[in-house]
């Protein structure tokens, strides 16, 4: 009997267990999934929780429901990976041997990385919305906030779901308008990059959104510290931005397990081949989703496309065949723009998001890089797709793992 061990039961780990349970012969392979947490969160919902669009119940379920019956599911903290011995050690002292290991331990926020961020004002006037606790605390704050300077801020790249902070700013504009207090709120978007939009096509097509919603932009801002006593953030060039309410996306880092095991880069992400998903250092260890250092977006859709290709590569690896160098960095994301509308973007390692139709060329019904109500309905429907199809490893019709160039307006892209 051989052992395939999956570390993490989030979006990627759950998907992989569902894919592999039907593909690996049960008499030869035992599949084990390890995750210490009992709750599976619908992370895209964390964007909606602060604005009372989703309830807490809509974004969490018991993780066990989604792990197939024939999979050995261990709910315990993982202490160490010992790749030289093909072993995983658990907190209780148990050691598991593996023939193949899949790392799906994701990424976490690390507010301790910036002085003053995780201080006395954390979840009082300084919030994140990338955790369930942060999003819920922010919801409670917003419910009776009287207005002032709202600063939406990105600490540094890479972050999970790079468009989420922008969506947060758009939804905040709608939220305060609906409450009849938009005139009492000043919204500023602060980014370490050159702009809220950084790709030429997207900048051209979407910059109007910031003007239309009266969202100010502070660019090239590399935060040094949060001065929580005087309510301002300060960057290395001594630029200061004042806030009454700071909504920040802290540094994103891979799990501490990766650091303990000596397997990560500066940010604890696992060096991984970008087309095959095999780790660079160990041929029987694969990595998927946010845990990798791939130059792709850290997003559920990316993990979904990776899972289809990784499943095939695991089977090839077992058969001793060459791995398929097929993953192209494909991502497909809805972007809420507020007021019941959304955008859709579809892109990969080499192609920036462009205008067009999706998934049927020339037909749609979804429009790329353009605001529409249909796109918003797509985003809302996605929660159902996530719980009922995506993490169960059911193929989403008409959407392929690699990006399609059909129905898109590419003329100027490089």
Partner 1 sequence: MKKFIANTEIDVNDEGYLTDFSQWNKDIGNELAKEQEIEMTDKHWEVIDYIHDKYKNEEPLSIRGIKKSGVINIKEFYALFPAGPLKKATLIAGIPKPKSCI
The residue ranges that bind partner 1 (CB under 8 A) are 113, 156-158, 162-163, 166, 192-194, 197-200, 202, 206, 220, 222, 224, 236-237, 251, 265-266, 274, 293, 295, 297, 331, 333, 335, 345, 347, 353, 414
Alpha helices in 131-267 (DSSP H): 132-143, 164-178, 200-212, 256-260
SS3 19: helix
Q: Residue 117 and residue 36: Cα distance in Å, rounded?
A: 27
**CB of residue 181 to partner 1, shortest distance in Å:** 29
Q: Where are the beta strands (DSSP E) in 67-214?
A: 72-74, 78-82, 87-90, 95-97, 100-103, 107-109, 126-127, 148-154, 185-190
Alpha helices in 228-299 (DSSP H): 256-260
**CB of residue 405 to partner 1, shortest distance in Å:** 17
**CB of residue 249 to partner 1, shortest distance in Å:** 12
Tokens, residue 34: 């390890």
Nearer to partner 1, 335 or 390 (CB): 335
Nearer to partner 1, 342 or 345 (CB): 345
**Can you state the angle between helices 11-23 and 300-319, rounded to 10 degrees?**
30
Nearer to partner 1, 182 or 408 (CB): 408
Nearer to partner 1, 119 or 271 (CB): 271
Nearer to partner 1, 309 or 333 (CB): 333
SS3 356: strand
Nearer to partner 1, 61 or 199 (CB): 199
**CB of residue 242 to partner 1, shortest distance in Å:** 21
**CB of residue 287 to partner 1, shortest distance in Å:** 15
**CB of residue 94 to partner 1, shortest distance in Å:** 35
H/E segment holding residue 230: none
147-166 CB burial, b ≥16 within 10 A, e <16: eebbbbbbbbebbbbbbbbb
């Amino acid at each position: 009997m051989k052992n395939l061990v999956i570390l993490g039961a989030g979006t990627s780990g759950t998907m992989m267990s569902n894919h592999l349970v039907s593909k690996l012969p049960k008499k030869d392979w035992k599949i084990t999934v390890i995750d210490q947490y009992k709750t599976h969160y619908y992370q895209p919902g964390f964007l909606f929780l602060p604005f009372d669009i989703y309830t807490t119940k809509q974004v969490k379920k018991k993780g066990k429901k989604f792990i197939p019956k024939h999979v050995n599911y261990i709910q315990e903290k993982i202490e160490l990976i010992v790749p030289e011995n093909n072993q995983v050690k658990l907190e209780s002292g148990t050691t598991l041997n593996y023939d193949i290991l899949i790392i799906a331990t994701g990424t976490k926020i690390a507010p301790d990385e910036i002085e003053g961020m995780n201080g006395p004002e954390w979840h009082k006037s300084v919030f994140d919305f990338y955790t369930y606790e942060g999003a819920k605390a922010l919801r409670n704050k917003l419910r009776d906030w009287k207005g002032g300077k709202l600063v939406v801020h990105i600490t540094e790249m890479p972050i999970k779901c790079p468009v989420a902070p922008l969506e947060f700013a758009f939804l905040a504009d709608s939220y305060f308008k609906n409450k009849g207090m938009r005139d009492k709120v000043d919204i500023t978007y602060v980014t370490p990059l050159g702009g809220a939009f950084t790709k030429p096509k997207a900048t051209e097509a979407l910059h109007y959104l910031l003007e239309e919603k009266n969202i100010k932009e502070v660019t090239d801002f590399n935060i040094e510290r949060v001065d929580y006593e005087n309510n301002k953030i300060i960057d290395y060039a001594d630029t200061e931005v004042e806030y009454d309410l700071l909504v920040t996306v802290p540094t994103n880092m891979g799990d501490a397990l990766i650091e303990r095991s000596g397997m990560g880069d500066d940010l604890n992400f696992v060096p991984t081949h970008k087309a095959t998903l095999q780790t660079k250092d160990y041929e029987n260890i694969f990595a998927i989703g946010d845990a990798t250092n791939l130059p792709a977006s850290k997003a559920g859709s990316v993990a979904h496309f990776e899972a289809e290709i990784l499943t095939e590569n695991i089977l090839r690896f077992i058969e001793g065949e060459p791995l398929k160098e097929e993953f192209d960095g494909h991502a497909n994301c809805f972007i809420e723009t507020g007021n019941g509308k959304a955008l859709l973007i579809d892109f990969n390692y080499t192609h920036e998001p462009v205008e067009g139709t999706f998934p049927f060329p020339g037909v749609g019904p979804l429009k790329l890089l353009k605001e529409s109500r249909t796109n918003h309905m797509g985003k809302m429907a996605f929660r159902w797709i996530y719980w009922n199809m995506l993490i169960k490893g059911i193929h989403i019709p008409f959407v392929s793992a690699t990006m399609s160039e059909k129905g898109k307006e590419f003329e100027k892209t490089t």
